[in-house]
Structure 1
Amino acid sequence: MRPNDRSLQSLIGIETFSDPALVFDGTPVPRTELSVRIDQAAAWLAAQGIDKGDVVAVWLVNRIEWVALLFAAARLGAIVAAVNTRYRSAEVAHLLRLSGAKLLVMEAAFRSIDFAAILADIAASDVPALEKLAVIGADTMPAQWPCVRFDAFEKAYPSAPSRDGVDLPVLLYTTSGTTRGPKLVAHSQATLATHAAAVAKALALSPQRHSLLAMLPFCGTFGMTGLLAFLAAGVTIRVLDAFEATPALEILGEHRITHAFGSDEMFRRILALTDAPRPFPYAEVFGFAAFQPGWREFAVEAEARGLPLFGLYGSSEVQALFSIGRRDAAFADRIESGGWPMSPDARMRIRDADSGEPVEPGDSGELEISAPSCFLGYFNNPQATREATTADGFFRTGDIGRLRGDGSFVYETRAGDAMRLGGFLVAPGEIEDELKSCTGVADAQVVAVDLKGQARCAAFVIPKEEPPREAALIAHLRERLAGYKVPARIYFVDAFPVTDSANGVKIQRARLRAMAMEKIAAE
C-alpha cells in the first residue's frame, strides 16, 4: 500500500508484489489478473446502470467475482451490500429493503442452497428499489425481476470512469439490532484500507515467509478484514469458497500456511481430522474468536499440538482483527479475547455500565473505542448512529471488558441480550418477530442456551386460543431464517417471568435461560 493512499485499489500492489494475490480451488489469480478482473467488473457494473451512490447487493460465496465487484464498486463510487449466503427470505428481503439495492448479484446454486426458492418467497413490493438480478453460474433464474448473466469476464464492455470518494460508503455489513432485522454498518475505502495496512504492519507480514488460509466468508468483517490485510501485505491467500474442515486441513498441510482466522469450533473440527502430534509445523498465528463452551481447554490442547491460537477482538463497526494477543504474552493472556489494538492510533476506554463514569484498569465496564477502523455510521439510520457514538467520537461497543493497564484489554461478555449463534451475533427480536408472525402465537421470547456444547437458542411461546404445533413453527422458521437462528427447543408457557421496575415491567430473560437449561437437563 502506497503511503497516504487510502483507496482499496492501493491494496493490490501490482508494482510491489509479484506472487499470486489469491488462489481459488488451486487456480492462482496473479495481481495483474486481479486488476484486469476489477476493470472488467467496473465496466460491467456501469453497463448495468450502476453509478456513484448506487447500492449493489452481493449474495455470493468466496469467489473472485466477490473481490472484483467490491473493488469495482469502489472505483465507481458505488456501494456493496454484503449478503450472507446462509440468509433466507426474511433476512434477504430486509437487507435489500434497508440498503435500497438496485442490483442483486447472486449464485445460481451452491451445495444445498436453493436461491431461486428463497427469492420466490420475497414479494417485489417488499424491495421496491431492486431493479435487476445478475446470476453467476447460469444464464438466468426464475424470478419476479429481470435477470441477466454476470458475464463481465466473458464479454467486453465500455470502460467505466473512476469516481473520487475514498471517504464515502463502499461496503455495508449486517449487524445485530434490538428489533426485527439487522442494521447496516457502513465503511468507506479509507476505513477499510487504513485498517488493512495497520493489520499487515502489526502482524509484520512478509510476502516471502507468510501465507493465509481464507476460510471465513467475505460477506462478514472477519473474512473481509483478513482478505484485505493480507492483500495489503502482498501475501498469497488461499481461499475456501465456504468452510469445510477436510479441505482446510489439506491446504494447511500442503501449502505451508502460516496464518488463519476462524472460530474455536472451526479449528476444533480441523484438528479432529488428524492424529499427527504436530500437524502444522509452519503455523505462526491462528487467530480465533471463542464462541463455544470449553474453548480454554481446547486452546491448551491446540497449543500442545503446535496450533498457536491467539485471541482476537472485533466487530462490524470497528472491523475484525481490531486487536489480537501478542506472541510474547503469557499463554493465558494471549488466548483471551481482546489483546492489543492493531492500530497505534486506536484508543479504548471503559465506563461503568450503570453510572457512565470511567473505571480504573482491572475493573469491568462497557468498552468504548475510537480508531481509524471505526465505521462511518449505520446506513440510512442517523438516530442509531447517534445512539452508538459518544459526543467525542467514541463508539459504544455494547461489550463488557476491562483494561489491563499495559495497552491491552480483555473482552468479557456482550452487554444486553444479543446472542452469539453459528459464529454470528443475533438479536433475539429478529427471531421473536418471526415467531409472532405465525398463526396461533400471541407472544414469544428467545434466549441462548448451551446444548451439548453448542450455542443454540430456545424459544418460549405464549399461544393464542388454538396453540400452534411445534413442527409447524420450526418449518416456518426454517423457510424464513438461517439454520443457526432456528430454535433448538420451543416451550409453550402461559406467561413470561417478569419484574416490576421504575421503567416498567421487564421480562426476566435470565430466568428464561435458567428455565430452558433446566428443561434441557431433564431430557
Structure 2
Amino acid sequence: MSANPFSLQSLSRTEAAVDPAFVFDGTMVSRAEFSEKVERTAAWLAAQGIGKGDVVAVWLVNRIEWIALLFAAARIGAVVAAVNTRYRSAEVAHLLKLSGAKLMVVEAAFRAIDFAAILADIARSEVPALQKLAVVGADAVPAHWPSVRFDAFDKPYPPAPTTQEDVDLPVLLYTTSGTTKGPKLVAHSQRTLATHAASVAQALKLDPQRHFLLAMLPFCGTFGMTSLLGFIAAGATIHALDAFEAAPALKILSENRITHSFGSDEMFRRILSLTDAPRPFPHLEICGFAAFQPGWRELAAEAEARGMKLFGLYGSSEVQALFSIACPSDAFADRIEGGGWPMSPDAKVRVRDTETGQLVAAGVSGEIEISAPSRFLGYFNNPEATHEAITADGFFRTGDVGRLRGDNVFVYETRAGDAMRLGGFLVAPGEIEDELKACTGVADAQVVAVDLKGNARCVAFVIPASEPPQQDKLFARLRERLAGYKVPARIYVVDAFPVTDSANGVKIQRARLRTMAMERIAAE
C-alpha cells in the first residue's frame, strides 16, 4: 500500500473506516478483500504486458473489477481510459485510437448490449495500438483481436514489480461531451483524484459510522467516479448498482440506511414515481442532482415535500464532479440551483465577460473560470486544446455561463453554447422557459437563439398541455413579464423535444432545436 498521501491507495487508509467497503448486488467486499483484489489485478495487468504509461481501456458496467482496475493501474503506473457503456462502434473506435490503449477490458454481455457485435464493427486498422481484449464473465468474445479471460480474482499471477510512484502522471482518462470531431480525453492524476476525494469527504462531513452512499451513476463518468472516491476516502460503505434502474435503487434506499446519493433529475424522478409513501426515505440527507430535464424545479419541490432534499451542484470532467454543492443552510430556491460552494478551500471561482474580456462583479453573468486542486492535467496528447482551455494564470475556461453570488459562491446558469446574447445582454434560456411554462396550455418549453435578418433573436418550442396554448395570449403574457429583447420572435408547438442519451441521463438536443427553428423560419 502506498505511503504517498496523494495516491489512490492512500484513500483506503482511513483509520475510522468501516466494513464492508462495497456492496454489489448483495455481495459484500471488505476493505481487506478489496486491497487483495487490487494487488491481484496489478499482478494480472503486469502478466498481460501492461506497465508504466500503458493505457488500458475499461468498458465495464459498475462492478468491483472496475474499481480494482483503476487502483491497480495506479499501483503500476498505467493509465485507465474509461469507456461509456452507451458508446457504440464509432465512439469506441475514436476513444481507442485517441488513447492508444494496448488492452481493453470488456463485458461479455450486459442486458441488451452486444459488446461483441459492437467490436465487430471496428476495423483492426482503425485502432492499431490495441493488442488484446480481456473479457469479464466469459472466456472470450468473437472479435478481430486475441481475447483472454479476466481471471485476476481467481488465478494467482506473479506479483507486480514495485515501481517508483509518480502521483502527477495521468492515471484516468475521461471523455468530454462529443463534438463533430469526437470527444477529447481529459487526463487526471492520482493527485488530482485523491486530493479532490479527500475534499469531498471533508466538505460533506462524512462519518463512516453513519453515512452510506447509493452509487447509481456510471463509474466511467466523473459524476459517478468522484462520488465513489469521496466515500472511499471517508471510509464509508458504498452500495452500488451495476447500472441505474429505478426499482433496484428504490429497494436499496428502502432497505438500507442510505444517507447520500447523486444523480440526474430524471433518476430521482423515476425513483419517487415508484412509491406512494409520503416520506419514503427517512435517512436521506443529501441528494446531489444535475438538472438535465425541464421541470426540475417542480421535481425539487415535490421531492422536498416528501423528505428527499435535492442539492444543486456543479462539476465537469476537467475539474471533476462535485466541484461545488449548495449548503444545507441555503434557502430552498438557492439550494436547488447549480453551482454552490466549492468543496476545496483552495478552489477559486471567477466570472469573465465574454465580449469585453474583463472580470465581472457578483450578480453579472459571464463565463465561469476555475482554479482548483481538482483541475485536470490537460487533454491527453492534445497540447493545443489544453492551451486554449487554460488561462495564463492557470484557470480553466469552463465554457459555462454563471454569476457569482458572493465570495467564491456561484450560480451555474447554462452552457456557453446555450446562452443567448440578446439586445446586447447575456440571457439564460431558462429565464424565458420558466415564463412560458407558467402560461396556460404549456406543459414544457425550450428556447434557443437564432440569427434573424442579422439580429440575434430567440425562438421558443412548447409542448402543449391538454388544452393547447393560444399564441396571442402567450406573446401578450411574455411582453408583460419580460424585456422586449427576451420575447421570442416565434413560438412553435411540438409534440416532443429531440433528445439524446448520455451516461448520466437524457439530454435535450439544443443544437437540433436551433436547426429546426432556422428551417421553419426559412420555410415561412
TM-score interval, smaller chain:
0.7 to 0.9
- Aligned residue number for residue 124 of structure 1: 124
Asked if residue 512 in structure 1 is aligned to residue 502 in structure 2, the reply is no
**Structure 1 residue ranges without an equivalent (≥5):** 419-446, 459-477, 490-507
Letter in 1 for 2:147: C
Task: Describe the shift of the 1:96–1:258 C-alpha distance in structure 2 as closer, same or farther (beyond 3 A).
Answer: same
| Structure 1 contact 363–402 (Cα < 8 Å) conserved | yes
Distance 2:520 2:307 in 1: 36
Asked if residue 350 in structure 1 is aligned to residue 351 in structure 2, the reply is yes
Identity of aligned residues (%): 73
Distance 1:396 1:483 in 2: 23
Asked if residue 227 in structure 1 is aligned to residue 228 in structure 2, the reply is yes
Q: Which moved more, 1:5-14 or 1:90-99?
A: 5-14
- The CA deviation string for residues 399-439 of structure 1, in whole angstroms up to 9 with x for no partner, is 00000114310000001269xxxxxxxxxxxxxxxxxxxxx
Distance 1:301 1:208 in 2: 30
- Aligned residue number for residue 290 of structure 1: 291
- Aligned residue number for residue 166 of structure 1: 167
- Aligned residue number for residue 100 of structure 2: 100
- Aligned residue number for residue 456 of structure 1: 498
Letter in 1 for 2:168: D
- The CA deviation string for residues 94-121 of structure 1, in whole angstroms up to 9 with x for no partner, is 0000000000000000000000100000
Letter in 2 for 1:172: L
Distance 1:399 1:260 in 2: 24
Root-mean-square deviation over aligned CA pairs? 2.8
Secondary structure (helix, strand or coil) at the match of 1:161 reads coil
Distance 1:3 1:134 in 2: 30
Secondary structure (helix, strand or coil) at the match of 1:85 reads coil
- Aligned residue number for residue 374 of structure 2: 373
Q: Which moved more, 1:16-25 or 1:389-398?
A: 16-25
Secondary structure (helix, strand or coil) at the match of 1:12 reads helix
Shift of 1:313: 0.2
Q: How does 1:117-196 map to 2 (within 5 A)?
A: 117-163=117-163, 164-196=165-197
Task: Describe the shift of the 1:87–1:485 C-alpha distance in structure 2 as closer, same or farther (beyond 3 A).
Answer: farther
Distance 2:398 2:69 in 1: 30
Distance 1:199 1:387 in 2: 28
| Structure 2 contact 221–503 (Cα < 8 Å) conserved | no
Q: How does 1:294-443 map to 2 (within 5 A)?
A: 294-416=295-417
Distance 2:244 2:519 in 1: 31
Shift of 1:483: 13
| Structure 1 contact 14–31 (Cα < 8 Å) conserved | no
Shift of 1:17: 1.9
| Structure 1 contact 350–358 (Cα < 8 Å) conserved | yes
Asked if residue 89 in structure 1 is aligned to residue 89 in structure 2, the reply is yes
| Structure 1 contact 54–101 (Cα < 8 Å) conserved | yes
- Aligned residue number for residue 29 of structure 2: 29
Distance 2:95 2:147 in 1: 19
- Aligned residue number for residue 246 of structure 2: 245
- Aligned residue number for residue 450 of structure 2: none
Secondary structure (helix, strand or coil) at the match of 1:229 reads helix
- The CA deviation string for residues 64-115 of structure 1, in whole angstroms up to 9 with x for no partner, is 1000000000001000000001100000000000000000000000000000
Task: Describe the shift of the 1:39–1:290 C-alpha distance in structure 2 as closer, same or farther (beyond 3 A).
Answer: same
Q: How does 1:454-493 map to 2 (within 5 A)?
A: 456-457=498-499
- What's the TM-score once normalised by structure 2's chain length? 0.82
- Aligned residue number for residue 47 of structure 1: 47
Shift of 1:13: 2.3
Secondary structure (helix, strand or coil) at the match of 1:185 reads strand
Distance 2:2 2:508 in 1: 48
| Structure 2 contact 55–79 (Cα < 8 Å) conserved | yes
Secondary structure (helix, strand or coil) at the match of 2:334 reads helix
